[in-house]
Amino acid sequence: MKYLVLLLKRIVMSICLLYAVNLVIYYAGAHLVINYVTICSVALFGFPALIGLVIMQKLL
């Protein structure tokens, strides 16, 4: 039960973090898609995954 609560917290925080970063980078001309893959990657790897997603979005 403890691990389930921890996992749920990480997923909710990942969604909030993706949404906040998406609001900021929208003005720079980029847009991150919030889907299962991005949420799981940010929940699993944290902030470095988010930075990687932003860089990949900007390069592609």
List pLDDT tens digits, range 5-53: 999 999 999 999 999 999 998 888 888 899 999 999 999 999 999 999 9
pLDDT for residue 17:
94
30-53 burial, b at 16+ Cβ within 10 Å, e below that, comes to: bebeeeeebbebbbeeeeebbeeb
Question: pLDDT-derived band of residue 57, with 50, 70 and 90 as boundaries?
Answer: confident
What pTM did the predictor assign? 0.84
Output the 3-class SS for 16-43: HHHHHHHHHHHHHCCCCCCCHHHHHHHH
Residue-level pLDDT at 3 = 92
The structural domains of the chain, with segments of one domain joined by +, span 2-59
